[in-house]
Amino acid sequence: MNTRPLLIGLLALLLGGPLQAAELLLDIGAESQHWSSAELLKHPLTQQIDIDQDVSYQGPMSYRAVPLAALLEGVQADEHLQLVARDGFAAELPAALVLTPGGSQAWLAIEDPNQPWPVLGVDKPSAGPFYLVWQNPAASQISPEQWPFQVVAIRKLAPVAQRFPQLLPAADASAAVQAGLLQYQKHCMACHRLNGAGDSQFGPDLNVPHNPTEYFSGDFLGRYIRDPQSLRHWPQGKMPGFSLEAMNEQELAELIEYLGHMAGRKAVP
């Protein structure tokens, strides 16, 4: 009897290899739901899709994916979603981006355990087991931070301002500062907290003990946001740059206005 295939299968199971399935938590209703990768691959709406320019793989990719809207039964367009990744990255997402037809199309890509995706880099895993990808992302101005990979949970939550009042600017703050709060939610909250407020476990707090507007002079903060490695280069740097397509000059100025305003509104976590 040839025992080699059996031994390979056992090793794969022990080492988390290609025979290992994954599970997604959906916490969007009265009761939590759990979907395995096998179940999602068999979902009647799952199909092969093409992504022209994948944010994580920096090029075209093809996936087995299900429309994210198909998994959000009962969620309304005016509600709020959060997608949590394995490493603590927490992407904030207005449900309208997913549920409103005519804009960008949100898909939950599902990694087949028997056909794993490419790794994201040396000594790094793939973007699986679940990855939010977008077709026509420019139509709804989807940010790179709204492409979370290694997703383990999708939750329906109260809006950010309601959950985290520490993020709110003063009532008499300018329109630019108010708009900057929205830019902060879209581009920064997935990795950072501010005044201790937020769910991400990934990056440093942007106000306590010091706000970046307090130690970046001139135009250096804007340059850093555009291309972090151009100012502080290190091989393991994880902060992405924000191109003009992801954040135009007005939006960048609004974000910096908000951060500068919040430097005067520190709250100890």
- The Cα 93–Cα 25 span in angstroms is 16
Percent of the chain with pLDDT over 90: 59
Q: Which two tokens stand for residue 33?
A: 């739901």
Q: What is the pTM of this model?
A: 0.75
Query: Does the structure show a pLDDT above 90 at 71?
Result: yes
Q: Which domains does the chain have, with CATH numbers?
A: 21-157 (3.90.420.10), 161-262 (2.60.40.420)
Query: What is the structure's pLDDT at 237?
Result: 58
Per-residue pLDDT band at 107 (split at 50, 70, 90): very high
Query: Does the structure show a pLDDT above 80 at 229?
Result: no
What are the pLDDT digits (tens) for 137-164?
989 888 888 999 999 999 999 888 888 8
Query: What is the structure's pLDDT at 11?
Result: 36
Q: 111-123: string of b/e by CB count within 10 Å (b at 16+)? A: bbbeeebeebeee
